[in-house]
């Protein structure tokens, strides 16, 4: 099956968590399309395709791959669609999952969702562990909730690569990290790999649990399984709303450096044997250890970019490639009000250095914001909340424009603490401009 097209990020509601019957709600129908010709309209609900329960968008793509397709509506009516070569069916569904989301049944000690404060919006507490979202969107899943039929479907439909939370391979460490269901995850993963499918894996490294010798055992398992395309290594993150962890690698630069050194040995082995780095170290480890980021070639094309691995290197390279544009922008901005860019304390260490060495030095003010809302070692920009930004802006009193990352907001334009941008502007007295913190968008916003 070809790589899936880009889909909107799925945000489950509490009702969808419970699962239920297959209900594919039609969001839109293109006029003149096969779906329109068959009488389908927005709001109609499909339950079956070719007589098969329509569980998700994968089922639709699988069975509606030809020139004719039969669909059943929730009214019991049957519609027949026909199309020409290369023609789209002309309908869009309002979701990618039609039977509810598969949720997590584990007790992971490091689960960030269990470290959230009370009384946040309900969708933030939904712990998805759905293999379909792993295939469609790159979500990491443990595979512990798979039935045998789920595994068979993954293999039959060639749903690869999945993104799998591995964490450790020895039974004792996995049980401590994941809970009693940990063995099922390894069993399912082995079956998927044995069938010839490929996966990307992730390890959340917890000090004293799956680092050191345990981490080496995991890497040796990865070396023995060529179907593991990449292995992302990220550090434990924790908030103040838990009592299990009191420190991580962000609190001990030497411990962070030891992890980097250990992983780099396996990177070299992998390069020698297979021509790819394969083991990818999370950006936080380099920041925590005070080390330079490796070159882009060390990331094998950035397969784990959205897991926060390689983002800093990519940004640095894009920034350096934009030197001419930055010089022109600095000349254009001369004499204009100082622009303030709001960032988390982690990104501030990278962007601050780049700005200081560029012609924009003195024309852009970086405002690193401590995450008092979550506390712990949370320092990334995307987890900043409205109240912390408002407090920082009140202290800084910027006179010029203020730029805030779009990644701090959901699709409704709301921060994690439910504050709106309008409310932030009222509290801070600042005019807020939003942009994605890519180099191109950030430079466009600065101009």
Residue 321: per-residue pLDDT: 98
Is the Cβ–Cβ distance between 430 and 367 less than 8 Å? no
- Tell me the mean pLDDT in the region 113-133: 95
Residue 21: per-residue pLDDT: 85
Beta 162-165 vs 140-141: how paired, if at all? parallel
User: pLDDT-based confidence at 1, cuts 50/70/90?
Assistant: very low
Is the Cβ–Cβ distance between 328 and 290 less than 8 Å? no
Q: Under 8 Å CB-to-CB from 163, ≥6 apart: which residues? A: 134, 138, 139, 140, 141, 199, 200, 201, 202
- Tell me the mean pLDDT in the region 301-308: 94
- Furthest CA-CA distance within the chain: 69
Q: Chain-wide mean pLDDT for the chain?
A: 94
The CA distances from residue 62 to 57, 66, 277, 407, in Å, are 9, 9, 34, 33
3-state SS of 138-190 is CCEECCCCCCHHHHHHHHHCCCCCEEEECCCCCHHHHHHHHCCCHHHHHHHHH
DSSP 293: P
- Tell me the mean pLDDT in the region 318-344: 95
DSSP 418: S
User: pLDDT-based confidence at 335, cuts 50/70/90?
Assistant: confident
Instruction: For residue range 171-183, list pLDDT tens digits in order.
Output: 999 999 999 999 9
Q: Is residue 311 predicted with pLDDT exceeding 80?
A: yes
Q: Is residue 374 predicted with pLDDT exceeding 50?
A: yes
- Tell me the mean pLDDT in the region 383-394: 98
Residue 180: per-residue pLDDT: 96
Q: Is residue 12 predicted with pLDDT exceeding 90?
A: no
Q: Is residue 316 predicted with pLDDT exceeding 90?
A: yes
Percentage of residues of the chain with pLDDT beyond 90: 92
Residue 165 to residue 168: CA distance in whole angstroms = 9
Residue 212 to residue 370: CA distance in whole angstroms = 31
Residue 9: per-residue pLDDT: 39
Residue 123 to residue 98: CA distance in whole angstroms = 17
Residue 8: per-residue pLDDT: 35
- Which alpha helices (H) appear in 311-360, and where do they start and end? 311-321, 323-333, 345-356
| Domain 112-307 class in CATH | alpha beta
Instruction: For residue range 336-348, list pLDDT tens digits in order.
Output: 889 999 999 999 9
Give the residue extent of every domain in the chain: 20-93, 112-307, 322-446
User: pLDDT-based confidence at 11, cuts 50/70/90?
Assistant: very low
Residue 184: per-residue pLDDT: 97
CATH of domain 322-446: 3.40.50
- Tell me the mean pLDDT in the region 209-238: 98
- Domain made up of 20-93: CATH architecture: Roll (2.30)
Residue 221 to residue 198: CA distance in whole angstroms = 15
- Tell me the mean pLDDT in the region 351-365: 96
Instruction: For residue range 436-445, list pLDDT tens digits in order.
Output: 999 999 999 9
Instruction: For residue range 15-72, list pLDDT tens digits in order.
Output: 334 346 899 999 999 999 999 999 999 999 999 999 999 999 999 999 999 999 999 9
Residue 20: per-residue pLDDT: 60
Q: Under 8 Å CB-to-CB from 363, ≥6 apart: which residues? A: 330, 333, 334, 336, 338, 339
Residue 236 to residue 250: CA distance in whole angstroms = 9
- Tell me the mean pLDDT in the region 200-220: 98
Residue 271 to residue 276: CA distance in whole angstroms = 5
Residue 36 to residue 81: CA distance in whole angstroms = 9
Percentage of residues of the chain with pLDDT beyond 70: 96
The torsion angles phi and psi of 368, rounded to 5 degrees, stand at -70, 130
Question: How many Cα neighbours within 13 Å face the side chain of 123?
Answer: 12
């Amino acid at each position: 099956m070809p790589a899936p097209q880009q889909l909107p990020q799925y945000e489950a509601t509490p009702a969808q968590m419970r699962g239920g019957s297959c209900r594919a709600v039609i969001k839109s129908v293109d006029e003149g399309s096969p779906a329109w010709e068959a009488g389908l309209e927005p709001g109609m609900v499909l339950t079956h395709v070719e007589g098969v329960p329509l569980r998700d968008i994968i089922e639709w793509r699988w069975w509606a791959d030809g020139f004719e397709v039969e669909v059943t509506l929730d009214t019991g009516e049957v519609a027949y669609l026909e199309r020409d070569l290369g023609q789209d069916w002309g309908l869009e569904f309002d979701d990618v999952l039609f039977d509810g989301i598969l949720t997590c049944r584990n007790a992971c000690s490091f689960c960030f969702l269990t470290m959230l404060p009370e009384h946040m919006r309900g969708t933030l507490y939904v712990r998805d562990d759905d293999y379909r979202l792993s295939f469609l969107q790159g979500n990491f899943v443990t595979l512990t909730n798979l039935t045998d039929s789920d595994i068979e479907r993954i293999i039959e439909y060639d749903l690869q690569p999945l993104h799998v939370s591995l964490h450790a391979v020895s039974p004792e460490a996995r049980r401590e990290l994941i809970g009693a269901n940990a063995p099922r995850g390894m069993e399912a993963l082995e079956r998927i790999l044995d069938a010839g499918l490929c996966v990307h894996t992730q390890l959340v490294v917890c000090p004293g649990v799956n680092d050191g010798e345990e981490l080496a055992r995991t890497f040796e398992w990865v070396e023995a399984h060529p179907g593991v395309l990449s292995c992302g290594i990220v550090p434990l993150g924790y908030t103040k709303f838990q009592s299990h962890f009191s420190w991580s690698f962000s609190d001990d630069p030497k411990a962070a450096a030891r992890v980097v050194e250990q992983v780099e040995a396996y990177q070299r082995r992998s390069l020698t044997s297979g021509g790819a780095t394969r083991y990818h170290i999370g950006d936080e480890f380099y920041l925590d250890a005070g080390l330079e980021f490796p070159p882009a070639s060390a990331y094998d094309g950035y397969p784990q970019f959205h897991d926060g691995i390689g983002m800093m290197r990519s940004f640095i390279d894009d920034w350096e490639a934009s030197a001419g544009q930055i010089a022109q922008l600095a000349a254009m901005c001369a004499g204009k009000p100082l622009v303030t860019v709001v960032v988390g304390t982690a990104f501030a260490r990278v962007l601050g250095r780049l700005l200081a060495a560029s012609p924009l030095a003195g024309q852009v003010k970086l405002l690193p914001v401590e995450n008092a809302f979550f506390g712990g070692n949370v320092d990334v920009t995307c987890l900043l909340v409205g109240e912390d930004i408002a407090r920082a802006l009140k202290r800084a009193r910027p006179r010029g424009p203020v730029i805030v990352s779009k990644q701090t907001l959901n699709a409704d334009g709301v921060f994690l603490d439910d504050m709106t941008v309008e409310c932030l502007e009222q509290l801070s007295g600042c005019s807020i401009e939003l942009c994605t913190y890519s180099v191109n968008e950030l430079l466009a916003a600065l101009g």
